[in-house]
Structure 1
Amino acid sequence: MPVIRSDLPALVLDSLNYGESDKIVVFYCQEVGRLSALARGAHRSQKRFVNKLELFTFLQISYSKSSAGSLFMLDEAELVNSFITLRTDVASYQVASIIREYMLLTSRENSDDDQLFQLALWALHTLNIGIDQRQVLALFMIKFFDVLGYRPDFSVCQGCGTNPAEDTAVFFNVQSGTITCRNCSGSQGSGGLLLAPGTTKMIMAVQHQPVSRLSRFKPSGAVLEQMLDCSRRYSLNLFQRDIHSWRALKDKSSG
């Protein structure tokens, strides 16, 4: 039975050439999740696709599929927001690329997660309006783990089972996604990454807020750097793959 969908909100995650004039475009869509569709004539100056299939673009798409096993066909694409800043500002582009890589790494065709779509859309929109790029990335990562079901537990020491005091630093274990207090970690801090009290407090607050309220948080200084560091290390252990775009961002910030 033919499949037809119209006016579906979608973000462009990737595209690749297919033959001389066509493209296969990878979207992440509301209600549907990841979707690959063939855009016929995308290399030509066709009004329906010109300047609409760039990375990060927010569209409303219409697509169809004639039979089981065939490719989805992209019939129409209406531009909602090109997020132009993401292609003109280097730091914004780098952070958007990190988000894109994580979306491609963890999503599968037709496996929808509306929370993930809303999170990605929030991040791209927030970057586009000029919010600090590293803040956006830190907040995205904390909620990203949460949405995927890999939320780290910062509330209880895995060694003694106590709740660390609010003014006490803890150690984060990237293998288990848990924390240990100073007593259980030992004097050498062998339990993992040292996190300041403000960092764990910020992370737990972000974990318990919906995507619509993420912009309320403004991590900075050591708290921001620790959030980014533990997120990157935790994701590396979790997915067993580093993110190329994150290396570029780190090199730029180090320089």
Structure 2
Amino acid sequence: MSRLHSEVPAVVVDSHDYGESDKIITLFCRDQGKLTVIAKGAHRSKKRFVNKLELFSFLQFTCSQSAPGRLPVIIEAELLNGFIGLRTDLNAYRSASIIRELILLASSEKLQDDNLFQLLLWALHSLDQSREPRPVIALFLVKLLDYVGYRPDLSRCQRCGTPWLENHSGRFTPLTGGLTCPTCRPDEDRGGINLSAGAIRTMTLVQQQPPARLNRCKLSGTVLQETLDCLHHYGRHLFQREIHSWKWLPPP
């Protein structure tokens, strides 16, 4: 007997054709995390799925699963927000693609995390409303790494444990996930990224904010560039691969 799943809010983060008429859809759900489903007859449907299964669509769906281990089948979907602004602004769409790739890399199938879901919605809403893309990506990355357990440690030297002084600059090392003081820094450390005191202070502040308060955080100029460089390098180290959509990062 098929098991029916109740209505679930979700964002479409991946989609590809399966056979002549079906689609395999990856959703990021509020209560279930990342979930892969199949939309049967999606190419032929004139009512059920039209314009609802596009990338970045925020929808509410119902699905059924005939047996454990088989892909759930979408029964119906209601579009809650199509984020039209993302589809009419190339920079916004490309920036949303960076957000999408990072979510896919950082999350596991069916790993529930409401914080990640709220963070994803915040980023898409911000880009849809024409907020500057680069600060949105930087703020998203700070919180994403925090939520998946890889928060950069900006409070102390990772080698000697000395507490970091508030007005001091530093060097962030992706290998250790934190700062290294000049005394402990080896001469051959060429993979680190220099961070000003302002960048360290700002990233620490953002780490303490819930998604609902991120709009109050302002990043610009050198602080923004240092934050993006630092988190890009750290993300590449953590995921052990290039973040392919990063090439679409809008210029300053």
Shift of 1:197: 0.5
Shift of 1:190: 5.6
1:120 paired residue number:
120
Pairing 1:83-98 to 2, within 5 Å after superposition: 83-98=83-98
Q: What are the ranges of 5 or more consecutive residues in structure 1 without an aligned counterpart?
A: none
- Between stretches 67-76 and 218-227, larger displacement belongs to 67-76
Pairing 1:1-255 to 2, within 5 Å after superposition: 2-185=2-185, 192-249=192-249, 253=251
Q: What are the ranges of 5 or more consecutive residues in structure 2 without an aligned counterpart?
A: none
Work out the number of aligned pairs and report it.
Answer: 252
Corresponding letter in the other structure for 1:120:
L
Shift of 1:188: 9.3
SS of residue matched to 2:222: helix
Distance in structure 2 (CA, Å) of the matches to 1:185 and 1:69: 49
1:169·1:182 contact (CA, 8 Å) conserved in 2?
no
SS of residue matched to 1:61: strand
SS of residue matched to 1:253: coil
- Between stretches 53-62 and 18-27, larger displacement belongs to 18-27
Shift of 1:22: 1.2
Corresponding letter in the other structure for 1:42:
A
Shift of 1:189: 7.7
SS of residue matched to 1:117: helix
Query: Scaled by the length of structure 1, what TM-score is found?
Result: 0.93
Corresponding letter in the other structure for 1:203:
M
SS of residue matched to 2:184: helix
SS of residue matched to 2:176: coil
1:10·1:58 contact (CA, 8 Å) conserved in 2?
yes
Q: How high is the sequence identity, in percent, across the aligned residues?
A: 50
Distance in structure 1 (CA, Å) of the matches to 2:54 and 2:31: 22
Distance in structure 1 (CA, Å) of the matches to 2:236 and 2:194: 18
Distance in structure 2 (CA, Å) of the matches to 1:196 and 1:165: 12
Distance in structure 2 (CA, Å) of the matches to 1:186 and 1:5: 55
Corresponding letter in the other structure for 2:15:
S
1:16·1:25 contact (CA, 8 Å) conserved in 2?
yes
Distance in structure 1 (CA, Å) of the matches to 2:107 and 2:154: 26
Cα gap change, 1:197/1:187 in structure 2, threshold over 3 Å: closer, same or farther?
farther
Distance in structure 1 (CA, Å) of the matches to 2:191 and 2:17: 48
1:171·1:191 contact (CA, 8 Å) conserved in 2?
no
Shift of 1:45: 4.1
- Between stretches 158-167 and 173-182, larger displacement belongs to 158-167
2:107·2:148 contact (CA, 8 Å) conserved in 1?
no
Shift of 1:236: 0.6
- Between stretches 70-79 and 223-232, larger displacement belongs to 70-79
Shift of 1:15: 1.0
2:170·2:181 contact (CA, 8 Å) conserved in 1?
yes
Shift of 1:243: 1.1
Distance in structure 1 (CA, Å) of the matches to 2:92 and 2:19: 32
Which segments of structure 1 move beyond 6 Å, counting only runs of 4 or more?
186-189
Cα gap change, 1:154/1:45 in structure 2, threshold over 3 Å: closer, same or farther?
same
RMSD: 1.9
- Between stretches 176-185 and 208-217, larger displacement belongs to 176-185
Distance in structure 2 (CA, Å) of the matches to 1:46 and 1:130: 31
Corresponding letter in the other structure for 2:202:
M
